[in-house]
Structure 1
Amino acid sequence: MRYARFWVVVVLLFSLLGCTSSESLNQRSAKSYQRMVNQMEMFGVVEHDSELALRVQRVFTRLHPIAEKSNQSGSAFDWQITVLRNPKEAGAWTMPGGKMVIYTGLIEVLKLSDDELALILAHEMAHVVKEHGKHQVNISRASYALGLFGSVAASSLVNYAGSAVVLAPEYAVNKPYSRNNELEADRLGLLIMAEGGYNPNAAKALWTKMYEFSGDNNGFLRQLASTHPAYAEREANLAEVLPQALDIYRHTQQATTD
């Protein structure tokens, strides 16, 4: 699995060099994503028809049309999610254009409810529709490619950044997603999940789980703090948009019962 992860890094790094426009970036991202999925298929770690994979697909299918409504890139995203079986990886990440990955470890270790799972997927979708990956374009295209892989790593809610730190020293300087990006994704993600019919009150419980887990596992809390807002900052940010999210959720619930 370690070799497979390194291979994915190399493919992402070199295939995304020189991308600037949304359409071009999304096309190259899709090709890299498919190569990664094919490689993971060879390792036998892609979940297709398991109960967990079907559950992820149900939530994903409900949410991505809602997220797409916030897409202002000028090109429709081709949404796709892959569930990778790895009980030791508690993470999820995205690539430009709507390509997503979630690890079984994130769902199983944290015992995620559907509402909590929806918030994680909606948060990642928010990164996509706000084009936070594209916004990391720097003066150097090579630096951008490294940063883009960092984006893939750091969009993970528990921070799947170990490989990026080793392979891309620039990652320590050019953070893949700024705190503002993360807070923006938190706010939009809460609204997306609410419109999808998932209870936004799950946010507090989820982030409590995430930070408790991070603090108890191999220094992940320090990694999380390097690229993500502090718990108190995150909680205050979500509190600002929670009333709006709850109104949307109640309206959605009422519409489905009428």
Structure 2
Amino acid sequence: MRRLLIMLVVFFGVAACKTNPFTGKSTLNFYPNSQIFPMAFAQYDQFLGENKVIKGTSDAQMITKVGQRISSAAERWLSANGYPGYLKDYKWEYNLVDDKTVNAWCMPGGKIVFYTGILPITQTETGVAVVMGHEVAHALADHGAQRMSAGMLQQLGAVAGNVAIQDPEKRNTFNQAYGVGSTVGLMLPFSRSHETEADRIGLQIMAIAGYNPDEAAELWKRMKANSGGQAPPEFLSTHPSNDTRIANLSQWAPLAKQEAAKYGVSSFQ
């Protein structure tokens, strides 16, 4: 059994290599698009059926407009950099849902939801573009599949430990330590790295779409003010702190403008 678990971990590690076109790095991903996209699409449709989707309003139309501009910019970048068929299985969809939660999210394959509660923070179309760029970036970088893959490895590690440790008391101690250690030491940093990566990719593609990347840091200043300073320590969070994000986005905005200039974009909305 132990040998089988070791073989499975090695197999998954070798089979998991997929290149992120925006970073050039290999990523942890056990799930092909053909497997994960249909599941995501079905879950998305179920969510829409169970919630109040807003259609036809100026806000709803703006969400769709911004999403289309940014996904088109992403496709333009990918085609220009040697990935012309990268988005062939994506089915982009952008919906506004009536919910006071200050949030937006994305599912694999390009299924995106904005809650009405985030609109007072975004304030403008460019503010929406900051959030949309971030969410589109999650889809482009396969972050959903990567999180599932990391979760699978975390579970395999737990199983391996329980198989290897015969003493019940020691096994219980291992399970407690492994649960905390693998979450704080591995899963949370993994999630924060995804958020940082989505911030950087999103900034780049929103600039190519003609939206001012300088607005990103301003949006996160408003997010910080809205939170009232209530947030867990960064090392216990799935997301970087507001201050970290503001500093990063301020630093990256000029680079995003330089990237947009390669595509003839020099003025921004």
Q: Give the TM-score normalised by structure 2.
A: 0.66
Q: How many percent of aligned residue pairs carry the same amino acid?
A: 30
Task: Give the distance between the partners of 2:247 and 2:53, measured in 1 at CA.
Answer: 37
Task: Give the distance between the partners of 2:190 and 2:228, measured in 1 at CA.
Answer: 21
Contact preservation (8 Å) 1:22, 1:73:
no
Matched position secondary structure for 2:91: coil
Q: Does residue 94 in structure 1 map to residue 101 in structure 2?
A: no
Q: Does residue 222 in structure 1 map to residue 232 in structure 2?
A: yes
Provide the residue aligned with 1:63 in structure 2.
Answer: 70
Q: Does residue 107 in structure 1 map to residue 132 in structure 2?
A: no
| Deviation digits for residues 48-84 of structure 1 (CA, Å, limit 9, x no counterpart) | 0011111111111111122244478675311111110
Counterpart amino acid of residue 76 in structure 1: D
Per-residue deviation, 1:114: 1.3
Provide the residue aligned with 1:84 in structure 2.
Answer: 97
Counterpart amino acid of residue 56 in structure 1: I
Provide the residue aligned with 1:51 in structure 2.
Answer: 58
Per-residue deviation, 1:235: 2.9
Provide the residue aligned with 1:16 in structure 2.
Answer: none
Matched position secondary structure for 1:212: helix
Per-residue deviation, 1:133: 1.0
Q: Does residue 196 in structure 1 map to residue 209 in structure 2?
A: yes
Cα separation, partners in 2 of 1:76 and 1:253, compared to 1, 3 Å: farther
Task: Give the distance between the partners of 1:74 and 1:46, measured in 2 at CA.
Answer: 26
| Deviation digits for residues 114-169 of structure 1 (CA, Å, limit 9, x no counterpart) | 1111010001111110111111214649969xxxxxxxxxxxxxxxxxxxxxxxx9
Contact preservation (8 Å) 2:217, 2:245:
no
Provide the residue aligned with 1:134 in structure 2.
Answer: 145
Q: Give 5+ residue unaligned stretches, structure 1.
A: 1-18, 145-168
Matched position secondary structure for 1:133: helix
Q: Does residue 116 in structure 1 map to residue 118 in structure 2?
A: no
Counterpart amino acid of residue 96 in structure 1: P
Select the residue among 32, 35, 42 that pairs with 1:31: 42
Q: What RMSD over aligned residues (CA atoms) do the two structures have, in Å?
A: 3.2
Contact preservation (8 Å) 2:106, 2:139:
yes
Cα separation, partners in 2 of 1:172 and 1:101, compared to 1, 3 Å: farther
Provide the residue aligned with 1:157 in structure 2.
Answer: none
Cα separation, partners in 2 of 1:76 and 1:214, compared to 1, 3 Å: same
Matched position secondary structure for 2:200: helix
Provide the residue aligned with 1:234 in structure 2.
Answer: 245
Cα separation, partners in 2 of 1:175 and 1:23, compared to 1, 3 Å: farther
Q: Give the TM-score normalised by structure 1.
A: 0.69
Cα separation, partners in 2 of 1:28 and 1:22, compared to 1, 3 Å: same
Task: Give the distance between the partners of 1:106 and 1:182, measured in 2 at CA.
Answer: 18
Task: Give the distance between the partners of 1:143 and 1:76, measured in 2 at CA.
Answer: 29
Task: Give the distance between the partners of 2:216 and 2:251, measured in 1 at CA.
Answer: 12
Contact preservation (8 Å) 1:199, 1:249:
no
* Structure with bigger gyration radius: 2
Matched position secondary structure for 2:113: strand
Task: Give the distance between the partners of 1:111 and 1:20, measured in 2 at CA.
Answer: 33
Task: Give the distance between the partners of 1:240 and 1:227, measured in 2 at CA.
Answer: 22
Per-residue deviation, 1:215: 2.2
Cα separation, partners in 2 of 1:113 and 1:31, compared to 1, 3 Å: same
